[in-house]
Amino acid sequence: DIQLTQSPSFLSASVGDRVTITCRASQGISSYLAWYQQKPGKAPKLLIYAASTLQSGVPSRFSGSGSGTEFTLTISSLQPEDFATYYCQQLNSYLPTFGGGTKVEIK
């Protein structure tokens, strides 16, 4: 199985900060990676697919990059509604896996 390692697992930031989350795959997955946002008690929400394609309706302050084994999710200017947990997911195989998550909290 392909393992995904997210870093950091916890991040404390202020409104307006630029935030970067990294996701590393145990083997190359081309660009077959998605990013999700999850708020407490809610279902995950798709932000980005194919590593860098922004889902319709998602604010442009979110962006994704990378290919192969290293990927990043960047929030250019953190907003109050962005405090949540973020997960990467690989879909390179028929057995998709998720990263362990990055919780973004208010400093």
- List contacts with another protein (CB under 8 A): 30-32, 34, 36, 38, 42-46, 49-50, 55, 87, 89, 91, 94-101
CB atoms within 10 A of CB 74: 13
CB-nearer residue toward another protein: 17 or 98: 98
Cβ proximity of 97 and 1 under 8 Å: yes
CB of 15 to another protein, least distance (A): 26
Residues in the chain: 107
CB-nearer residue toward another protein: 1 or 81: 1
CB-nearer residue toward another protein: 13 or 91: 91
Strands (DSSP E) found in 3-107: 4-7, 10-13, 19-25, 33-38, 45-49, 53-54, 62-67, 70-75, 85-90, 97-98, 102-106
Cβ proximity of 88 and 23 under 8 Å: yes
CB-nearer residue toward another protein: 17 or 24: 24
CB of 32 to another protein, least distance (A): 7
CB of 14 to another protein, least distance (A): 25
